[in-house]
Amino acid sequence: MATLNVLVAVCLAYVALLFGVAFMAERAALRGRVKWLRSPVVYTLSLSIYCTAWTFYGAVGYAARSGLEYLTIYIGPTLIMVGWWWVLRKMVRVGRAQRVTSIADLISSRYGKSTILAILVTTMAVAGTTPYIALQLQSVTLSFAAFAGTTEIAGVGNSRWTALWVAVGLTLFTILFGTRNLDANERHHGVVMAIALEAVVKLFALLAVGVFVVWGMSGGVGAMLEQIDASDIGSWQMQGGRWAGLIFLSAAAFLTLPRMFQVLVVENENEDHLRLASWAFPTYLMLMSLFVVPIAVVGLARLPQGANPDLFVLTVPLSQGQTGLAMLSFLGGFSSATSMVIVAAIALSTMVSNHIVMPIWLRVAYGGAKMSGDVRNLVLFSRRVAIAVVVLMGYIYYRFSGGGAALAAIGLVSFAGVAQFLPAMLGGLFWRGATRTGAIMGLITGFAVWTWSMLLPSFGTGEILSPQVFEAGPWGLGWLRPHALFGIDGLDPLVHAILWSMSLNTLVFVAVSLGSFPSPLERLQGAQFVDVFLHSARPQSWSGGVAQSEDLLIMAQRILGPIEAQALFRRAASKQGLVGYLPEPVPDFLNELERELSGSVGAATAHAMVGQIVGGASVSVKDLMAVADETAQMMEYSSQLEIKSEELTRTARQLREANEKLTALSVQKDAFLSQISHELRTPMTSIRAFSEILRDTDGLRSAEKAKYASIIHDEAVRLTRLLDDLLDLSVLESGQVNMNMRRGTLKDILDHAMAAAGGGKALPVQRNRENEHIGLWTDLDRLAQVFINLIANAQKYCDASQPELRILVKPGQAGGIDVDFVDNGSGIPHDRQEMVFEKFARVSDQGAGGAGLGLAICREIMVRLGGRITYLPGQGGGAFRVSLPGEALTTSA
Amino acid sequence: MRLLPLLGVGLWAVPLLWNARARETPMSHAVLYVFGVWLLLVVAAGIMAVMIGRRNSDTGEPGEADGPAMRF
Amino acid sequence: MGKSVLLIEDEPNIIEAISFILLRDGWEVNTHANGQTALARIAEKKPDVVILDVMLPGASGYDILRGLRAEPETHDLPVLMLTARGQNKDRDMAEKMGASQFMTKPFSNADVLEAVRSLVGS
């Protein structure tokens, strides 16, 4: 029992180490030290999640039962890796170009961003992976029990708890490091680092056991080989069909397993890493398989009859009293199981949240893409729940399957299930004629055949399918016998199932594709995927009007976060030569936005969200023409034309807008004199009228006299203030003004401004004073004047029933800072946003006392201070951003 | 060199012919053969990887494949 | 009891000044500050003279004047327009619309009084 306690302690220490490594990697990534985190070596090691507990324990058992057949499982991936140039390179390139987040995303994106396909693939992937997770839980439990010294494995009450604790621990780890943030690229530095470490541990453990067996127990290589030939599995006996079929199956599964897709494509940082992996990963696989046969042979010879060969890796060292080695071996198995569950759970949860939860949410909250609120939390939450559910399902499967079946059998069933994605995926990558309908029909066919001939029989004869069904087929239909479809008898059941499911899948896929017509979007995506090396630009498929930019910004802020979204929009706007945050929604920009969004929520969902705002017509006649022109030359030519005509349209629109603005300005200029006249004459009227009253009227009471005199006084003050403002503005505009530069802190200036604007009484103000300890070197009085103006404006114009102003300080461009003033009123309509900074421009018709010079003065001041003031659309209220340049900041606060 | 997978498939298919032989093939021979092919493939893939890397840097194309500019 | 005046103007100080002058001269003075509801108010009060400011919240004084002239009942109602914009085109506009008299702010109290008296006398 002492050993067991040590084992538990070692196990916990190991888990703590994994947490530590993952945590450090996340920290390092935050500090931008991604380079060493993302070396090709780490990439190669992360691929080793292919080697699960099925490899670690199961391969030896497999070898003990069927000789060298286990090697097929590693030869398949080796061939794929060695031939990376053909398939993997294209998959990774497409994955990066289209920001694919999972295999479901890849397939759905290729076939016109189809939601149905995404849901179909996700469901199949979950169904195919659950038994596999159960397998990992079972292996940890079995190995634990082997240590505990109990031979009765299935009956140990403890084993349930072991499995449960392992499941809970894995769920926690995965949620912690797999859903930390909604990374635009779905990359998880901590997780990848931890599984790379586990890859080293499991290889080292298996090699250590192998070395011990060959040199410690059998007396060297020569003696070992003789012993192999003398053993029960001493001669080459191989069914050709199984050998070829299994190599094909493992190669297919290597490409289509959701967890492999995650590490191969999604977590891939750089296409070039494939070069190292192309030979290093096959080496890893070779080393993992090297000692399997010796361990199996020694186990068969030395351990009592009936010992579980699946546990030889553990029980052989134990039988020799090598507790330390056995413990290392246990950690190796533990690593294999945990890394698989973690990555599989991440991959599946991404698929479930992107392809099932988000579409449902979009459907339920129709038009909701524009609603306020943060979608990121919804996505993260759904992922966490999905992880828990996926691992839980694995646990439940484990509990109900009884944990009895040989490990390898479950593994192969799972492999064959996900291999059904292969025709749709490869067809999508290499054949432009492949269509959505074809892919759906092929997948359904393959999956149905797999279920009937492989999954259901795997539960055992008489469990789900009765013996009669195996003998005579369902309802007496002999050609539907699960192990002899269409009357073809005598094949190995596994080869039979692979042959029929894959060939029917492919046949239906090709036939239906040829017979159906792809939608325009499918054609565009097809061209993008198949010819990814020719042109990596995205199809131009959106067209929109200018007013939608603000809605798009609101939506993007909720998914990407405000800072990133605003940066993206500003970048796009300046690329188009515009100032502010609202670029023209030209197709290029919309596609870029969609791609950014799809990194967070998947292609189909991103497409739907942009579509909700920009409008349903996603593909124009122009696009169809572009597709119809098959030759690259024609494509080039037409796209050039397209760009030119678009540029013309845009230039025309910009000219028109400039012209409108000029006209509006000239009207304003004309109105300027008349405005000044009005603003000056109004107070003068009162002054003249009351002074005449005071002069001409006899018998005025003294209270009346005092009142009229004070009116005259107030109006004179108003007049003076107006003249001051006018002078101020004209001085600022002419540039003949000296800024009085001093040191101060942002917090003091804001405090001063709030006090001058009447404190927080008239309008509650939310501030985060922690962020405001920023030292400034600027004209403090002028800056305060800007702030006072903005606060006073919010007091005057915020029309919410419970008005409120938020002042937010954020890092700005080029090392400067942004100070945002956001109220909760109805804001400024889009068509007025450009005019608010002009003189005498009042947004509302109600004259609320001001002459309309405040914002014009603010703008001039900010220009003099080297910064600027802009209206910030899409904040759910009136929002002004004061940007101070980096030069205005001092280090000493 | 890009035909490596085909070479692998061919070489690894050879053991299937052994079934037809009169005498049983000893397991040790099979193990040595299969792992020998494996080693050969790994070395060949390694050489190919190095060559591709060198060619990319020779032609001034970055090994980083970030943009659509990269063509093979 | 003297004749009644309705003053439509939005600056409180100016309202107070004009009301004071007219009240002392024996007029009945009502005031109104909103452009949109001004017509209804005129119909309700049936004043002898209307003093109308051009810049009003809700509607311009010209709109109100046009509304008055369109109705037979108020077609001949004397209207004194006040404006703070001292440009000739404003005066032209007011005359074209049918203002009985037009004054530019600031005005002398005596002029206003005289104008109102003359409008009722005519």
Query: In terms of domains, do A810 and A756 share one?
Result: yes
pLDDT at position A80 over 50: yes
pLDDT at position A126 over 80: yes
| DSSP element (H, E) containing C52 | strand C49-53
pLDDT at position B41 over 80: yes
Range among A37-46, A143-152, A251-260 with highest mean pLDDT value? A251-260
Q: What is the pLDDT of residue A782?
A: 87
- Distance of CA A378 to CAs A358, A374, A384, A557, Å? 9, 7, 10, 14
User: Between chains, do B49 and A282 touch, taking CB under 8 Å as contact?
Assistant: no
Query: In terms of domains, do A260 and A128 share one?
Result: yes
Higher-confidence residue of A34 and A575: namely A575
pLDDT at position A653 over 90: no
Chains C, B in contact, 3 or more Cβ pairs below 8 Å: no
Q: List chain C residues with pLDDT less than 70.
A: 1, 86, 122
Tell me the mean pLDDT in the region A430-458: 86
Residue that has been written with the tokens 């009502």 in this structure? C30
Domain range for B44 is 4-21+29-57
Query: How much is the mean pLDDT over chain A?
Result: 79
Q: What is the pLDDT of residue C6?
A: 92
Domain range for A548 is 537-615
Tell me the mean pLDDT in the region A343-354: 87
Least confident range of A365-369, A472-476, A582-586: A365-369
Beta bridge partners of residue A808, listed in sequence order: A820
Q: What is the pLDDT of residue A150?
A: 47
Where residue B64 falls (left for φ over 0; alpha for ψ -120 to 50; beta otherwise) is: beta
User: Between chains, do A685 and C84 touch, taking CB under 8 Å as contact?
Assistant: yes
Least confident range of A729-738, A744-753, A869-878: A729-738
User: Between chains, do A236 and B27 touch, taking CB under 8 Å as contact?
Assistant: yes
Spatial CA neighbour of A277 closest among A83, A13, A553, A539 = A83
Q: What's the CATH superfamily of C4-112?
A: Response regulator (3.40.50.2300)
Residue B47 falls inside a structural domain: yes
Q: What is the pLDDT of residue A372?
A: 43
Least confident range of A35-49, A189-203, A444-458, B4-18: B4-18
CATH of the domain at A213: 1.20.1730.10
Q: What is the pLDDT of residue A283?
A: 92
The rounded distance, in Å, linking the Cα atoms of C35 and C58 is: 5
A446: pLDDT confidence band, cut at 50, 70 and 90?
very high
pLDDT at position A29 over 70: yes
Query: In terms of domains, do A882 and A851 share one?
Result: yes
A234: pLDDT confidence band, cut at 50, 70 and 90?
low
Query: In chain A, what percentage of residues exceed pLDDT 70?
Result: 81
Q: What is the pLDDT of residue A487?
A: 65
Query: Residue type for B28, please?
Result: S
User: Between chains, do A692 and C86 touch, taking CB under 8 Å as contact?
Assistant: no
User: A419, A436, A451: which is the final residue of a domain?
Assistant: A419
Q: What is the pLDDT of residue A189?
A: 81
Residue of C nearest to A673 (CA): C85
Least confident range of A121-125, A677-681, C2-6: A677-681
Residue A322 falls inside a structural domain: yes
pLDDT at position A507 over 90: yes
Tell me the mean pLDDT in the region A617-628: 43
Predicted TM-score of the model (pTM) = 0.61
Residue B68 falls inside a structural domain: no
B48: pLDDT confidence band, cut at 50, 70 and 90?
confident
pLDDT at position A687 over 60: yes
Q: What is the pLDDT of residue A842?
A: 59
User: Between chains, do B41 and A536 touch, taking CB under 8 Å as contact?
Assistant: no
Query: In terms of domains, do A143 and A241 share one?
Result: yes
Q: What is the pLDDT of residue A217?
A: 83
CA dihedral A454, A456, A457, A458 (to 10 degrees): 80
Half-sphere exposure of B32 (CA within 13 A, CB side): 13
The 10s digit of each residue's pLDDT in A250-306 is 999 999 999 898 888 888 877 888 888 888 899 999 998 888 888 888 888 888 877
Query: In terms of domains, do A225 and A353 share one?
Result: yes
Q: Total domain count for chain A? A: 4
Q: Which residues of A touch C13 (CB under 8 A)?
A: 686, 690, 711, 715
Query: In terms of domains, do A274 and A170 share one?
Result: yes
User: Between chains, do A692 and C109 touch, taking CB under 8 Å as contact?
Assistant: yes
A471: pLDDT confidence band, cut at 50, 70 and 90?
low
User: A400, A419, A438: which is the final residue of a domain?
Assistant: A419
Tell me the mean pLDDT in the region A435-461: 85
Residue A450 falls inside a structural domain: no
Q: What is the pLDDT of residue C7?
A: 92
Query: In terms of domains, do A32 and A175 share one?
Result: yes
User: A680, A705, A737: which is the final residue of a domain?
Assistant: A737
pLDDT at position B69 over 60: no
Q: What is the pLDDT of residue A184?
A: 45
Tokens matching residue A76: 């398949």
ipTM > 0.85, yes or no? yes
The 10s digit of each residue's pLDDT in A300-339 is 888 887 778 888 888 888 888 888 888 888 888 888 888 8
The rounded distance, in Å, linking the Cα atoms of A148 and A3 is: 8
Per-domain boundaries in chain C:
4-112
Residue of A nearest to B51 (CA): A275
Q: What is the pLDDT of residue A460?
A: 66
Residue B64 falls inside a structural domain: no
pLDDT at position A157 over 60: no
Residue A437 falls inside a structural domain: no
pLDDT at position A618 over 60: no
Query: In terms of domains, do A142 and A192 share one?
Result: yes
Query: In terms of domains, do A112 and A211 share one?
Result: yes
CA distance A525 to chain C (A): 55
Residue B45 falls inside a structural domain: yes
Query: In terms of domains, do A727 and A764 share one?
Result: no
C-beta separation of A492 from A241 below 8 A: yes
C-beta separation of A491 from A500 below 8 A: no
User: What residues 238-257 of chain A have any CB closer than 8 A to a CB of chain C?
Assistant: none
**C113 shares contact with chain A (CB less than 8 Å):** no
